Structure 1
């Protein structure tokens, strides 16, 4: 079984306090994520304190990490989630992430970078063909000859909308002949 998020944050704290990629803008994103989504972890008052620009970023990072560790396991887990969402390059270079990647273990719902964008097993050609069919149907619908549509019901008119004159005539002839 892997380490808890609390223990991981304790290990990663030294790295996070010294990493220059975690600048003021990125720290603000993390604070706002925690404050808006999980106000029980970071209240408005606490978020305002950690976003104070008069305090150097390295001190604010250290105070935020200490605060999250005091809040417990859930707060640490959500910090990692926010870090993964907003600052992936920092997230994947954390000492605990590097160690997990080398050992092949996975902790919690965090995914490896290569697994992240696999949405389906179909090729890009399949996506392009489906997209082309949808665009073609939309173009037929919007730019078809809807002025000449005739028939005995509105459903028939909608079914024949956008089809060529020959196909439309066959469709209308078939439905009227069936009556």
Structure 2
């Protein structure tokens, strides 16, 4: 499962950003907060002792207040405590966990809020040349042709002047200038 935070943020920073959302969300009801407190207390008593768990499960205090105090307490305990809170939230209330502001902002890109260009972005990493296979074949054929001319001309390309000057018709400006210059130089040597 992917981490619910960006690479530069930790769970502590994420919990600070998500605290307001968690305290205002109606899905964070008394039963869910109790489940989270019990899981933290049973699994990691060093995060929540029995006395602290009873304080956060006190029904005479409104759920919103208890939840806010729990979040502040977990932030004070450090990164591991915040991580375990998110793990418990993912287990007991995945719909809340999935809709956290830090997770939603991570899924949504600023340039593409609908998420339609994710496939294109992945393909950009692998595409080195977007001109297609015919461009590759033509470049490869040109290189092989020049190599054959050089090999059969015994290292002397001066005899290939007419061929080189005719072959520049379909090439780009830079390539044709190089080939024409070489063809002219070769004809001067003879």
Interval containing the TM-score (normalised by the shorter chain) = 0.5 to 0.7
Q: Does 2:72 match 1:66?
A: yes
Partner SS for 2:107? helix
Partner SS for 1:77? helix
1:102 Cα offset (Å) = 2.1
**Using the alignment, how far apart are the partners of 1:83 and 1:60 within structure 2?**
16
1:5 Cα offset (Å) = 0.3
1:99 Cα offset (Å) = 1.3
Normalised by the size of structure 1, how large is the TM-score? 0.56
- Note the alpha carbon deviations across 1:48-91, whole angstroms, 9 max, x for none: 00000000000000000000000000000000000000011110
- Note the alpha carbon deviations across 1:13-70, whole angstroms, 9 max, x for none: 0000111100000000000010000000000000000000000000000000000000
Match of 1:85 in 2: 91
Match of 2:108 in 1: 102
Match of 1:42 in 2: 48
Q: Does 2:32 match 1:26?
A: yes
**Using the alignment, how far apart are the partners of 2:70 and 2:87 within structure 1?**
15
Residue ranges of structure 2 left out of the alignment (5+ in a row): 1-6, 110-190
Moved more, 93-102 or 21-30: 93-102
Dislocated runs of 4+, deviation >2 Å: none
1:2 Cα offset (Å) = 3.5
Normalised by the size of structure 2, how large is the TM-score? 0.53
Match of 1:52 in 2: 58
Structure possessing the higher radius of gyration over alpha carbons: 2
Residue ranges of structure 1 left out of the alignment (5+ in a row): 104-179
Count of paired positions:
103
- Note the alpha carbon deviations across 1:102-151, whole angstroms, 9 max, x for none: 25xxxxxxxxxxxxxxxxxxxxxxxxxxxxxxxxxxxxxxxxxxxxxxxx
